[in-house]
Structure 1
Amino acid sequence: MATGLVLVASMAGAAVGTPLYPTPDPDPFYATPADIADKKPGDVIATRAMPPLMIFPDTTITVVRFRSTNSEGRPIAATTTVLTPKQHRRDGPLLSFQHIINGLGAECSVSRVLYTDNPDLIVREAPGWNVLLSRGWSVALPDHLGPNFAYGAAKLGGQITLDGIRAVKQVAELQVQQSPVGMVGYSGGGMATAWAAALQPKYAPELDIAGAAMGGVPMNLVKMLETLGLNSHPVFGLALAAGLGLEREYPDRFPLSDQLNERGLAARAQIANSCTNDILATGAGRGALDFAKTTSMINDNTARAVVEENSLELYDGVPKTPVFEWHSPIDGLIPIDSVVDTDKRWCAAGAKVQSDQIPVPDHLTAAVLGIPAALSWLEARFRGDAAPSNC
């Protein structure tokens, strides 16, 4: 196994560690119902009308709880938050916006942070969302990390995204039963969007998705870890958080905690319920050697398989919906060859892919510069225009 997997490989023959799960949300609305297994993916569990917010003028806010499925096929309860502008017309466009959620706790969820003043959180994105709302689009914002905040579990994010769309379409007062549906996301949100697009033909074949726009997508987590290796990195905290999230999602196959030394366990406790800024601060300038109690290279195929299962480049499914994909060709965070190779594979299988390169050296700058073209592309899909392709 490559050195980059030392932090996420389990020790051969070691006892399975106990994941450190997030603190449960005390609000009973977010509890998992006892009959969850009797429901179908996308079935609505409950809805809640939320107080209006000044940051979204003339917009109603509705939280929808629904049944979804975790990475190992078990039923879970998930959440999406729907913004409905006053100018929305019945069956007007519905956009599922998969936000970047770099978090391990409930306070990082979209359904929660809209009502906080934490500068680490997504209220700062409100001006961009208002652009979408001003077009009359309803916007669904799924908590795509799931109830255990399994950061890094990319396939899970795709399933929750699709089930969130299924659920929203069932809520009569939202008036989107026959709406054309688009999906968009960048980075971690792009990963959930891309997985949703690739999974849809098999996981939710009844859904008609007009188009999926995705940017800065980590298409191959194995390669990301191999690139990181044992070296220190400014954003190593995100790698640690992803490992902890995968352990939560695959507790029997991915016992990361067995690999951690005292400093690693302290860091785990420190970020168990944290969002982006605290996670970054905990791991800034660190590397695997700072938090792992062994440097021996253990070739554990079970642990590696978990990472592979969440690497879209290695998944053989192909989107049926048209795709708009954008990235920086010199992105310092994600392996660009995996993005290019995935685009080529999708093209070869007959998918309509429009790929744009944003010539900047920064991951987040590429997000800002690429989103206007992505939204224009989505607007054309909502109009029913033929999708372009530069395969």
Structure 2
Amino acid sequence: MRSWRGRLGVLTAVAATALATVGLAHPPAASAAAIYPVADGDGFYATPPDIGNFQPGDVIRSRTVPANGFPGATAWQLAYRSTNSQQEPITAVTTVLLPPGGGNRPLVSYQPFVNALGTGCAPSHSLFDGSMQEAPTLNLMLARGWAVAVPDHLGPTSAYGAAQLGGRLTLDGIRAVQRFAPAGLGAGPVGMTGYSGGGMATGFAAALAPQYAPELSIVGVAQGGVPANIGKLALEVGSSPNPLFGLGFAATAGLEREYPDTLRLDEQLNPKGLALRDRLANACTSEIIDAGANLSLADVFSGSFDVDAATERVLHENSLETFPGVATAPVYEWHGADDVVSPDSVRQLAGRYCAAGTPVQLDMIPGADHGAAMVQGAPRAFQYLADRFAGVTAPSTC
């Protein structure tokens, strides 16, 4: 089997294909039937009865955890209040890594790519159990003296695919870290970064920030490999059998969790599809890939694959190209010129931000596919953030 990095481009393409087919032509069932994961057995993740009394970003509870894999760092986990897509209060979690020393150091919110439906697959777990392949990269930022926050940006129901939710969770996670006095970070400068699915959460955080969290001092955003238009990508990819079909199917189930009154799969899946949804309800990446390997849409869906208006709205709300919000913080956007994730959609997004006056450095890496661009662009992303923290004027290719 190909390496994880080499499979990333196919992953995103298959996910987008499945997402664009969830709104079939016939009317939905009378009641939603989304399948939610088993709640995390650790009481730290529990929602308090008075959650409505907290404001977005308020810390509900905190704890220190062993900083396994991050020599010299101190690790905190914060449970905080955020808001889901139905405007309901929810409890979210972010993990904060503090390098040795003190002072009002820069804070970077790092959004990893998380392709899972189980709550046990969240970054607050995978950072320390060896299952997050990106985890060693965080040491490069800690070595620069930066504090690093890693939010569980899929939320308490692991709503894989709900990128706008990921943006809110990211911003509220930053608020929580800065309000948490023991971290000593106050209201210092903030950077954000992430790639692929993590890039989607990062991009949405940047686009939402001017209205949702204008008080945050976000000085730079580095987002790479972003699927800027998941619906358009689906049309380009098609629906043939694919070894990573399970990831796309999981993303469909994740969006159903976040939009249960809009995306209702119980009337749209055939018996094989219903069984697959049940099997994956608490699954992490490897199990999802194995369970859905080489399936196609026709194997699990019944009826026509037409997109209805409600599903199209959800796709637009979770695609940066069609989301009306505009980032105002300087943006470094890197992308492989040979990426199956549309470079044209990224160019359109950058052009819209440029027209609004946002400094954008668009870096199309020649000859790079999705996996290669991640590796080549990450050092440039970190240097971009370092320059913003140093007060260097942001470059622009606008």
Q: TM-score, normalised by structure 1?
A: 0.94
Confirm or deny: 8 A CA contact 1:5 1:229 kept in the other structure.
no
Question: What secondary structure does 2:267 align onto?
Answer: helix
Q: Corresponding residue for 2:335?
A: 327
For 2:45 and 2:19, the matched residues in 1 are separated by: 34
Give the drift of 1:222. Answer: 0.9
Cα distance in 2 between the residues matched to 1:281 and 1:228: 21
Question: 1:60, CA displacement in angstroms?
Answer: 0.8
What whole-Å deviation, never above 9, does each CA across 1:223-265 have from its counterpart, x for those lacking one? Answer: 1222233322232222111110010001011112321112111
1:86 aligns with 2:100: yes
Aligned: 1:193 with 2:207: no
Q: Which residue, 20, 28, 50 being the options, matches 1:35?
A: 50
Distance change in 2, residues 1:69/1:385 (3 Å): same
In the alignment, structure 1 segments of 5+ residues that lack a partner are none
Cα distance in 2 for residues equivalent to 1:57 and 1:128: 13
Letter in 1 for 2:75: I
1:6: Cα distance to partner?
6.5
CA contact (8 A) 1:7 1:256 kept: no
CA RMSD after TM alignment = 1.7
Inter-partner Cα distance in structure 2 for 1:280 and 1:360: 27
Give, in angstroms, the shift of residue 72 of structure 1.
Answer: 2.1
Deviates more, 1:275-284 or 1:239-248: 275-284
Give the Cα–Cα distance (whole angstroms) in 2 for the partners of residues 326 and 151 of structure 1: 23
Instruction: State the 1:180 CA deviation.
Output: 1.0
In structure 2, do the counterparts of structure 1 residues 359 and 6 end up closer, same or farther at CA, with 3 Å as the change threshold? closer
Give 2:59's aligned amino acid. V
Pick closer, same or farther for the CA change 1:277–1:360 going to 2, 3 Å.
Answer: farther
Residue number in structure 1 paired with 2:111: 98
Letter in 1 for 2:70: F
Aligned to 1:223: 232
Matched ranges for 1:242-261 at <5 A: 242-261=251-270
Given that 1:3 and 1:297 are in contact with CA atoms closer than 8 Å, whether structure 2 keeps it comes out as: no
CA contact (8 A) 2:337 2:364 kept: yes
Return structure 1 stretches of 4+ with deviation > 6 angstroms. Answer: 2-6
**Which residue type is aligned with residue 348 of structure 2?**
D
Question: Does the CA-based 8 Å contact 1:96-1:181 persist in structure 2?
Answer: yes
Q: Structure 2 vs 1, CA of residues 14 and 131 (structure 1 numbering), >3 Å: closer, same or farther?
A: closer
Counterparts of 1:17-32 in structure 2, within 5 Å, are 17-32=32-47
Kept in 1, the 8 Å contact 2:19–2:252? The answer is no
Distance in 2 (CA, whole Å) between partners of 1:206 and 1:278 is 41
Aligned residues: 382
| Aligned match of 1:14 | 28
TM-score, normalised by the number of residues in structure 2:
0.92
Matched, 1:73 2:87: yes
C-alpha contact 1:169 1:176 (8 A) present in aligned 2: yes
Q: Secondary structure at the match of 2:136?
A: helix
1:384 aligns with 2:397: no
Is contact 2:84-2:258 (8 Å) kept? yes
